[in-house]
Amino acid sequence: MKKFALSAIAAVALGGILAIPVAQAAEVQLKGISAWPKNFPLTGDFLRFIEEANKRGKGHFKIRHIGGPEISKAPAQSKGFKSGLYDLMYTAASYHRGVVPEVDALSATQVRPWDARKSGAMAALDAAITKRIDGILLSQTATSVSFILYLSKEPKINADGMVSLEGFKMRSVPVYDAFLKALG
């Protein structure tokens, strides 16, 4: 009798489960923006990520690259992200120092991303990003990008052996301004 009761309960439960229509979830559409134009080399990394993510997420989600600075200038993208204009942002941390000052820790770091994760540094940075723009830090990429200075002519060398950039017109990003000003 006990066996019958258990079988009957299982049959009723199974019947109830089978009677529930399976809701077919629609593929979630996500918009991604990059800090740089589509033809910029770093944007290629993002486009390859999107392609691979779309393959793996087929039927669940689809990411569409909506553009770069022609949609929103890089420093303003974090505000658009926070307001929900786009769902993914591929950018340089230094562009968002004014909104998430903690990202400046990445500007001159020599710590490899996997070591930063292991030490808890990435978790701390993720917490700051979540708090300030309601986002999640997925990854730190392009860590091999370094400071490169191109000059139209050879600079003068001061008596102390330091390079002098006096007289050069420079275009830079805020993270390097103090360094360049110190050189003239």
Question: What pLDDT sits at residue 144?
Answer: 57
The CATH number given to whatever domain includes residue 50 is: 3.40.190.170
CB atoms within 10 A of CB 25: 8
pLDDT for residue 37 is more than 90: yes
What total number of domains does the chain contain? 2
Average pLDDT, the chain: 81
CA 177 – CA 94 distance, rounded (Å)? 12
What's the token pair of residue 26?
Answer: 């629609």
CA 150 – CA 145 distance, rounded (Å)? 15
Domain assignment of residue 45, yes or no: yes
pLDDT band for position 23 (cuts 50, 70, 90): low
Between β-strands 163-164 and 156-157, what pairing exists: parallel, antiparallel or unpaired?
A: antiparallel
Residues 46/32, Cβ–Cβ less than 8 Å: yes
> Are 44 and 82 in the same domain?
yes
Question: What pLDDT sits at residue 85?
Answer: 94
Of the listed ranges 22-31, 62-71, 91-100, 114-123, the one predicted with least confidence: 22-31
- More confidently predicted of 142 and 31: 31
Q: Containing domain of residue 110, as a range?
A: 28-133
pLDDT for residue 29 is more than 90: yes
- Condensed to tens digits (0 to 9), the pLDDT of residues 143-157 reads 656 667 788 888 889
> Are 128 and 99 in the same domain?
yes
Strands (E), 107-174: 156-157, 163-164
- Segment 124-138 shows an average pLDDT of 87
CB atoms within 10 A of CB 46: 25
In the DSSP assignment, the letter for residue 21 is P
Compute the C-alpha angle 12/15/21, nearest 5°.
Answer: 145
- The verdict on pTM exceeding 0.95 is no
> Are 40 and 106 in the same domain?
yes
Q: Biggest alpha carbon distance in the chain? A: 101
Question: What pLDDT sits at residue 76?
Answer: 92
What's the token pair of residue 113?
Answer: 């991303």
> Are 113 and 167 in the same domain?
no
CA 69 – CA 10 distance, rounded (Å)? 59
Question: What pLDDT sits at residue 8?
Answer: 41
- Condensed to tens digits (0 to 9), the pLDDT of residues 53-90 reads 999 999 999 999 999 999 999 989 999 989 999 999 99
